[in-house]
Structure 1
Amino acid sequence: MVKPARHVVHVAELTAQESSELGPLLRRVSAAVTEVMAPEQVYVCLWSHAQGVPGHIHFVVQPARAEDMARFDAFGPALQVAMGEAGCLPEAADVERVCDRLRKALA
């Protein structure tokens, strides 16, 4: 039986086991994104606020590519914001292809 997800708002609320699993998981996912997408960097960010109030722990693993930084004249958190504000969303078929490749890299 799969245990239901626990809702926490702060990293400090994670159990010792949860926090010990988080680092290796983020490393594996970042390595897979690097392998599949070949970006200059992979950003790993913790976002938590919804309308100014911490809502939950949410990690974003984002490939940062030189062409995106040049196109949006931004990097770091500003790159993600600029891409979102521009409505820069990939086609569903492209997402599926990348997800298939990521699944294989994570297997």
Structure 2
Amino acid sequence: MAEGTGAGGGCKACDLMLGRAPLPGGSVLRTESWVVEHCVGPLGLGTLVVKPARHVLHVAELTAQESGELGPLLQRVSAAVTEVMAPEQVYVCLWSHAGGAPGHIHFVVQPVGARDMSRFAAFGPALQVAMGEAGHFPEAADVRRVCDRLREVLG
């Protein structure tokens, strides 16, 4: 599975994936190369993380199989988030730093609506920064409920 620091610990993405850290809602979907989980950060209910099943620091390091699965998977996950959360837009962006150094890459799939933009008086990257600074985390029970629904949709 993971290689590098992820296999032995010290990588939050790997720790969540391998059950070494609490993950409300559990895994939403696993493919041969990718794992989908609810975001454990303050980016709102229904925000998912799509990450390689192995410890990868750079997109350029993805295998042909991993990169071949990525586009269709991001579209599929975005469609599921759209169906379950009914946002105005779904942001999809790469995050990969941990403590200022490259970390396990992961794509954030975030539902965004007018309420979010109004509450934080921001949109796009500024919205994500504002949400991070506010530090409001979804309730674990809500995360479990949304993850159950997303699993149904992703079938």
Same fold (TM over 0.5): yes
How much does 1:79 deviate? 1.1
Moved more, 85-94 or 28-37: 85-94
Find the aligned partners of 1:85 and 1:104 in 2 and give their Cα distance. 32
State the match for 2:45 in structure 1: none
State the match for 2:93 in structure 1: 45
Runs ≥4 residues deviating over 4 A: none
Find the aligned partners of 2:126 and 2:98 in 1 and give their Cα distance. 17
Find the aligned partners of 2:85 and 2:72 in 1 and give their Cα distance. 20
Find the aligned partners of 2:54 and 2:149 in 1 and give their Cα distance. 29
Q: Which consecutive unaligned segments of at least 5 residues does structure 2 have?
A: 2-52
Find the aligned partners of 1:8 and 1:98 in 2 and give their Cα distance. 27
How much does 1:60 deviate? 0.8
Q: Which consecutive unaligned segments of at least 5 residues does structure 1 have?
A: none
State the match for 2:71 in structure 1: 23
Deviation string 1:37-96 (CA, Å, 9 cap, x unpaired) is: 000110111001112211121111110111001110111122122112112211111111
How much does 1:6 deviate? 2.4
Find the aligned partners of 1:45 and 1:19 in 2 and give their Cα distance. 15
Find the aligned partners of 1:27 and 1:90 in 2 and give their Cα distance. 24
How much does 1:102 deviate? 0.4
How much does 1:10 deviate? 0.9
Moved more, 73-82 or 37-46: 73-82
Give aligned pairs, total. 104
Larger radius of gyration: 1
Higher helix content, 1 or 2: 1
- In the alignment, does 2:128 pair up with 1:84? no
RMSD (Å), alpha carbons: 1.0
Identity %: 84
Amino acid at match of 2:73: L
State the match for 2:54 in structure 1: 6
Find the aligned partners of 2:63 and 2:121 in 1 and give their Cα distance. 39
Find the aligned partners of 1:22 and 1:86 in 2 and give their Cα distance. 31
TM-score (norm 2): 0.64
State the match for 2:104 in structure 1: 56
